[in-house]
C-alpha cells in the first residue's frame, strides 16, 4: 500500500513528539521548541529554537541529536536535516550533528566525557517527579494513607495519565513494569522504607516543583523571545508529491 503524504507528515510530527527536553521532562513539540517542519521529495528539514541563545550547549546538542535520530527512524523521511536556530553554538551543533561527530567530536575539549550521565540524571529526576505525582493523587483522594504507601504496587494505581507517565519514566531508567512491582522505589528499584516515606515524598515534591517551575519559566522566556511562541504547533510545509 502506498503511504500517503498526510501519513508521512503525521509520522514526522509523532517522531518529534518523542524528543524530550532533558531538564523540563516535556516533549519539544509541547514546549514550542519546534519552529518549523519542511517536507519535500528530498526529505525532511526541521528547525528547532530554544528560550534563550545561551541555553546549555549540552542540552541543546542532546535535543538536536535526539530529533535527528527520531526522524531518521521514520521509514520514508528521506534525507534528514535538523537545525538549531538563534543559539550561540548553532553553527557548531548543526555542523557536528550533520557530520555525525557526536557530542565529544562536536565540542572537542569543551565537551564533558559524554551525555550518558546527563541523560541518567534527568531521567531519574523525571521518574522521581512522576512517582510523587501518583502518590500525591492517591493521598489526596483518601484511597491510601501514607503508612500504606510502601505496599503500593503498579496494579493499584488507577489507569490515567499519571500512571502512564510513571510507566514511561520507569521504563526509561530500567525499572520493571509488571503489575506487582512496588511503586515507591529508588532509581535502582530498592523499595523505600516505611520510616523514610514522608521525607522522600517531600524531597520528590521539591524535584517535581523544580521541573514544573523551570518549564513555566522557559515558556515565558520563549514567549518573550518569539512572537508566535504561544502557538506550540510548528509551521509545517509539506510539498511532497504523491507516490
C-alpha 224/C-alpha 243 separation (Å) is 42
As a whole-number percent, the residues of the chain with pLDDT over 90 amount to: 79
Q: Give 227's pLDDT tier (boundaries 50, 70, 90).
A: confident
Mean pLDDT value across the chain: 91
Residue 232 has a pLDDT of 65
Asked whether the predicted pLDDT for residue 2 surpasses 60, the reply is no
* Packing angle, helices 116-141 and 161-172, rounded to 10: 150
* Residues 98, 146 within the same domain: no
CB distance 120 to 112 below 8 Å: no
Number of domains present in the structure of the chain = 2
Question: Does residue 201 belong to any structural domain of this protein?
Answer: no
pLDDT digits (tens, 9 = 90+) for 67-119: 999 999 999 899 999 999 999 999 999 999 999 888 888 888 777 667 888 88
Asked whether the predicted pLDDT for residue 231 surpasses 90, the reply is no
The pLDDT of 215-230, averaged and rounded, is 89
Provide the CATH number for the domain around residue 61: 3.30.300.130
* Residues 17, 43 within the same domain: yes
* Residues 121, 105 within the same domain: no
C-alpha 55/C-alpha 118 separation (Å) is 15
Amino acid at each position: 500500500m502506498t503511504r500517503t503524504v498526510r501519513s508521512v507528515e503525521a509520522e514526522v510530527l509523532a517522531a518529534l513528539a518523542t524528543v524530550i527536553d532533558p531538564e523540563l521532562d516535556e516533549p519539544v513539540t509541547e514546549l514550542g521548541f519546534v519552529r518549523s517542519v519542511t517536507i519535500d521529495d528530498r526529505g525532511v528539514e526541521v528547525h528547532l529554537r530554544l528560550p534563550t541563545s545561551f541555553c546549555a550547549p549540552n542540552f541543546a546538542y542532546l535535543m538536536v541529536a535526539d530529533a535527528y535520530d527520531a526522524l531518521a527512524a521514520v521509514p520514508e523521511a528521506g534525507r534528514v536535516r535538523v537545525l538549531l536556530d538563534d543559539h550561540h553554538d548553532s553553527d557548531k551543533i548543526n555542523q557536528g550533528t550533520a557530520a555525525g561527530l557526536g557530542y565529544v567530536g562536536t565540542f572537542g575539549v569543551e565537551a564533558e566525557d559524554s551525555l550518558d550521565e546527563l541523560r541518567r540524571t534527568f531521567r531519574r529526576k523525571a521518574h522521581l517527579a512522576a512517582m510523587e505525582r501518583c502518590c500525591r493523587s492517591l493521598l489526596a483522594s483518601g484511597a491510601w494513607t501514607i503508612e500504606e504507601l510502601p505496599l503500593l504496587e503498579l496494579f493499584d494505581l488507577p489507569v490515567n495519565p499519571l500512571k502512564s507517565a510513571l510507566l514511561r519514566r520507569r521504563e526509561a531508567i530500567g525499572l520493571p513494569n509488571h503489575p506487582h512491582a512496588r511503586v515507591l522505589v529508588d532509581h535502582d528499584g530498592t523499595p523505600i522504607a516505611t520510616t523514610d516515606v514522608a521525607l522522600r515524598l517531600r524531597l520528590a515534591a521539591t524535584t517535581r516543583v523544580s521541573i514544573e517551575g523551570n518549564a513555566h519559566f522557559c515558556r515565558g522566556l520563549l514567549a518573550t523571545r518569539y512572537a508566535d511562541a504561544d502557538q506550540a504547533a510548528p509551521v509545517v510545509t509539506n510539498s511532497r508529491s504523491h507516490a
